[in-house]
Amino acid sequence: MHWECKHELTHAMAKTKLFHAVFSFLLHVAVGGGGAPPPPRADVSSVTVHRRLPPAARLAAPTTALVVDVEGALLLRSSSSSRRSSSLFPYFMLVAVEAGSFLRGLLLLLLYPVIALLAGAGGGGDDDVAVRAMAAVAFCGLRESRFRAGRAVLPRWLLEDAAKEALEYAVTRRPPSSSSSRRAAVVWASAMPRVMVEPFLKEYLTPPDAAGAAVVVAAREMKVAWGFYTGLMEGGGEVASSAPEVRRAMEGVDDVVGLSGEAMDLLRTPLVSFCKEVYVVSGEEKSKWRALRRREYPRPLVFHDGRLAFLPTPLAAAAMLVWLPFGSALAVVRLAVALALPYGVATLILAATGQSWRLRGSPPPCADDGDEPRRRRRGQLYVCNHRTLIDPVYVSIALDRPVRAVSYSLSRLSELISPIGATVRLARDRAHDGAAMERLLDEGAHVVVCPEGTTCREPYLLRFSPLFAELSDGVVPVALAAETATFYGTTAGGWKSMDALYYMANPRMCYTVEFLPAVDTTPVREGKVASTELANGVQRRLAEALGYECTMLTRKDKYLMLAGNDGVVRRRDG
């Protein structure tokens, strides 16, 4: 091992501060270890350390396993911060806010100066105590069975932070083993709790063609008592609870190579005992690495949840929390303006507050425009992709006439504050729903329907229900895009009744409404074309106009992933 590496480790182990000693002692006592000493450090005397990237040939052997330091070698943010606790703060803040509350996020932010001071007090042990402190604030009191932030929220931000080059070393350049038809083992070592990183590492960084790969996440567990997180992390090093799984992954492996960051955190964990060589990525080299682009994701990110539309770094989180009371008041004012004033006046006032919209294409001529205004004509059906709860409101504004919206589920609060009146509720019964929309069209109403059945934030369209193609002789596709700065106006696992208010609490946002040429649906009504075929055609038209991709995923797929249910609201009798 190189002299400078030994010197750095020895120096880190020797430096202590009074604050760190007291804080660390209290943590060990709280964990239940009393005055027990911390687990011994791994023996790194037999490990060869290289301050360079591993050669491609070094990882090409199918029986070579790879141990990757997630924070040091995979995530790009750590290259701009000397302490991993500083670079991990946004992810713990996401847990605090999305799984907890804004008050919990405020507490974590107020403690950040202490955490930063703790991280800068010395070596790796000090930094580990800082990570434990953030975990304590973010997790303490959360119900284990309801925690879904690791699967529903964090992957969206961790994917944006993943380095393309690191992923190539860990996955792309690893050939499948001819003897076992799988890639050699990849062990991801993380300082974050397992529940935060395991879904991201196993479900999004493993390509579909590597389903049989041995992928192991070596991370500590959060302690649970009576079904609630205590906020305390298991001791014994990152790999303590994963050791059997790691050993099974190492069976049949001839060689183990480590990939670490410049801080060499991997050398401070028991995982290094498996490695023969560790390659250290310098900060200069990592600064040249690029973030993954969306089309380069090993698996597409179609669904994600959470209210925050930005990564909450300390400064960004502080700005958000300062804005929150002003945004709440502004949401009330915007809502009052939208309900009390005509569209033409309201949109001008709302635009001055940052709530704008733009129109592309020409709205179709109104069916009741002409020489016989008193004659009742059949209404027009508008088919939209679904971005937020207020999609029909902007279609109504663009048309400058009232519309009727249909929805599978809507909270009482959202219905009360809707500026376009009552929404027609659907029952997910084909005959019932078809009759309800037919009745509206026969009454001459302009009906807005979102065949996806649920919202999707990413540039994808979910499968279209074909019922709309059977209700009218022609439909008008409407492409919708919503841009927000701070808060998402949709949720799968949170309070859906607050969706519209969250959208209006943004400092700025913009809706884009684009009317596409009408689609003739008479071949479906005449039995010449299947309704599913026409629905897929409308889906493709909208996707082309928006630059999105079509999928066959449904509302049920979304809610099973993000909320652990099928997304159906069941009403209680009485």
> How many percent of the chain have pLDDT more than 70?
78
Distance (Å, whole) CA 72 – CA 292:
16
Q: What is the pLDDT of residue 5?
A: 45
Please identify which residue in the block is written with the tokens 């504004």. 397
Distance between CA atoms of 172 and 170, rounded to whole angstroms? 7
More confident: 29 or 282 = 282
Per the confidence metrics, is the pTM higher than 0.85?
yes
For the segment 508-514, the average pLDDT, to the nearest whole number, is: 95
Percent of the chain with pLDDT over 90: 43
Greater confidence (79 vs 119) lies with 119
Quick one: pLDDT at residue 31?
Answer: 42
Write the CA distances from 568 to 453, 454, 458, 556, integer angstroms.
11, 11, 22, 8
Give the model confidence (pLDDT) of 479-490 as tens digits.
Answer: 999 999 999 999
* Pair 538, 464: CB distance under 8 Å: yes
Cα(470)–Cα(312) distance, integer angstroms:
46
**Residue 66 — very low, low, confident or very high, per pLDDT cuts 50/70/90?**
confident
* Crossing angle of the two packed helices 18-31 and 124-139, in degrees rounded to 10: 50
Q: Compute CA distances 240 → 40, 237, 272, whole Å.
A: 12, 5, 13
For the segment 287-331, what is each residue's pLDDT rounded down to a tens digit? 889 999 998 898 999 999 999 999 999 999 999 999 999 999 999
- Strands 355-360 and 509-515, by their bridges, are parallel
Per-residue pLDDT band at 263 (split at 50, 70, 90) = confident
218 three-class SS = strand
pLDDT tens for each residue of 433-455: 888 889 999 888 899 999 998 99
Is residue 38 over pLDDT 70?
A: no
pLDDT of residue 85: 58
Position 32 scores a pLDDT of 43
Tokens of 34: 């009393």
Q: Quick check: 36 pLDDT over 50?
A: no
CA–CA distance, 219 with 188 (Å, rounded to integer): 8
- Residues 48-60, mean pLDDT to the nearest whole number: 79
Which range has the worst mean pLDDT, 56-70, 140-154, 267-281, 461-475?
56-70
Residue 236 pLDDT class (50, 70, 90 cuts): low
pLDDT score, position 269: 81
8 Å CB contact between 181 and 208: no
Where residue 247 falls among pLDDT bands split at 50, 70, 90?
Answer: confident
CA nearest neighbour of 272 among 74, 49, 85, 103: 49
pLDDT at 545 over 90: yes
Pick from 49, 95, 78: which is nearest to 162 by CA? 78
Annotated domain spans of the chain: 3-296, 377-562
pLDDT surpassing 50 at residue 67: yes
CB-side exposure of 349: number of CA atoms within 13 Å?
Answer: 15
Alpha helices (runs of H) in 257-405, residue ranges in sequence order: 283-286, 314-340, 343-352, 391-399
**Residue 496 CA, distance from chain mean position:** 17
Whole-number pLDDT of residue 35 = 40
Q: Is the pLDDT of residue 472 over 70?
A: yes
